[in-house]
């Protein structure tokens, strides 16, 4: 895989500007970063990170604005301790069709199912809902912009 520096140097050669007389090095680095950011916005799974997502009380959970898309939940962390159960990835419409009142179910620490609605990329849902004052997290994959530097 090429580094940003290698891409900039190759572009300078193609543009017949190896000393960066016409286009500064910093401009070219910025353009590469903008291009990568555009790719990640058009195709969010282009860059995926695994991280702990803090959960809040209830079924509706939100991603930080720095993330592009929720991909999937991998496992629960209750009180900082990894739980062995992997939540099932469910379809929001199907779950709601089967059980219209699932969002008001009795809260529990361990997540059985994670749902995502493609119309709201910064929101995902957990079943059962999380209890009040939870400190639980969901280890998950999310799409991000890589924020490359030289």
Q: What is the pLDDT of residues 131-141, one digit of tens each?
A: 998 889 999 99
**97 contact partners, CB below 8 Å, separation of at least 6:** none
Helix (H) / strand (E) element for 41: namely helix 25-42
Q: pTM of the full predicted structure?
A: 0.71
Other Cβ atoms less than 10 A from the Cβ of 69: the count is 20
* 9-30 per-position pLDDT tens digit: 888 888 898 898 898 998 888 8
| 3-class DSSP assignment, residue 134 | coil
């Amino acid at each position: 895989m090429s580094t940003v520096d290698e891409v900039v140097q190759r572009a300078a050669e193609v543009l017949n500007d190896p000393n960066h007389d016409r286009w500064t090095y910093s401009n070219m680095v910025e353009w590469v970063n903008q291009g990568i950011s555009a790719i990640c916005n058009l195709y969010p799974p282009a860059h995926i990170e695994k991280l702990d997502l803090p959960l809040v009380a209830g079924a509706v959970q939100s991603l930080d604005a720095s993330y592009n898309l929720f991909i999937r939940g991998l496992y629960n962390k209750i009180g900082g301790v990894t739980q062995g159960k992997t939540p099932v990835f469910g379809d929001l419409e199907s779950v709601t069709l089967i059980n219209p009142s699932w969002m008001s179910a009795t809260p529990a620490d361990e997540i059985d199912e994670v749902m995502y609605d493609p119309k709201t990329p910064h929101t995902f849902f957990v079943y059962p809902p999380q209890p009040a004052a939870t400190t639980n997290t969901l280890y998950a994959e999310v799409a991000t912009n890589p924020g490359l530097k030289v």
